[in-house]
Amino acid sequence: MSAERVVRGRAGESTKGRRAALPPRVPRVERRLPESGFSLFQYQNRPVELTPAELTVLDLIVERPRHGYDLEQVIEQRGVRQWTDIGFSSVYYLLTKLEERGLVHLPEAPATAKSRRVFHATRAGGQAAERGALALIREPRPVPHPLLAGLAQLPLLSEREYAGALRARLAQLEERITAVREAEQAQSPLAPAAREVFSYSLSLLEAERSWLAVRVRVPDDEQD
C-alpha cells in the first residue's frame, strides 16, 4: 500500500492526499449559578481577587441584603472609613463591579425607576468573601505609608523642622486615639468582629504614639 493516506469519500471513493474531515465541534455547555447566572466555569478558573473595599461592601451584603443608601449609612455608623479606603461616592461603583462579577445580584427588578435596588449576595459571593477574609488575615502584605515617604526625605529638613513636625503629628495622633476609643465605647457591647477591629486599630495607633514620644522626648506616661 502507498504511504499516502487513503480517505473514503461519500460514495466509497478513495481519495489520495486528502485530509480527513473533522467532526463538527460540539459547543461547550456551561453550568450557571442559579442565584446570578454567572458562569461556574469562569468562576472556578479565575479566582476572585477582592480589594479591601470590595470585600467590605460584599461582606455587608452577605450579612443581609442592602441597597446603596443603606450601605452608606452602615459604613458611616461603624466608622468603616477609618480603616478601609471607601470614598463617599464609590459605594455604587463597587456595587457595579461586584454585580458584574456575579458576586451580588438583584433578584427582582425595581418596581419603579426611583425604587431602591436591593442587592443580595450570590453563592459565589459568599464563597469569595470567606476566602478573601482568610487571605487578608493570614497573609502579611506591605502597606504603603505616607510617613515613610516623608522620613526618606529628612535631608531636606532641619532638625527644628523635623521635631516640630513630629510634635504636630503626635498631637493629632492623640486626638485620633481619643476618637477611636469614644467610637468603641459608643458601640458597646461590641460584636467579636468589631472588637477585633478596634483592638488592632488602637494597638497600631498606640505603637506609633510610643515611637513618636521617644523622638520628641516626651515620656509615655505623660501621653496617657
Tens digit of pLDDT for each residue in 151-198? 999 999 999 999 999 999 999 999 999 998 998 898 889 889 889 999
Q: For the chain, state the CA radius of gyration.
A: 29
Buried/exposed code over 41-80 (b: 16+ C-beta within 10 A; e: otherwise): eebeeeebebeebbbbbbbbbbeeebbbebbbeebeebbb
What's the pTM?
0.66
Lowest mean pLDDT among 19-28, 62-71, 89-98, 129-138: 19-28
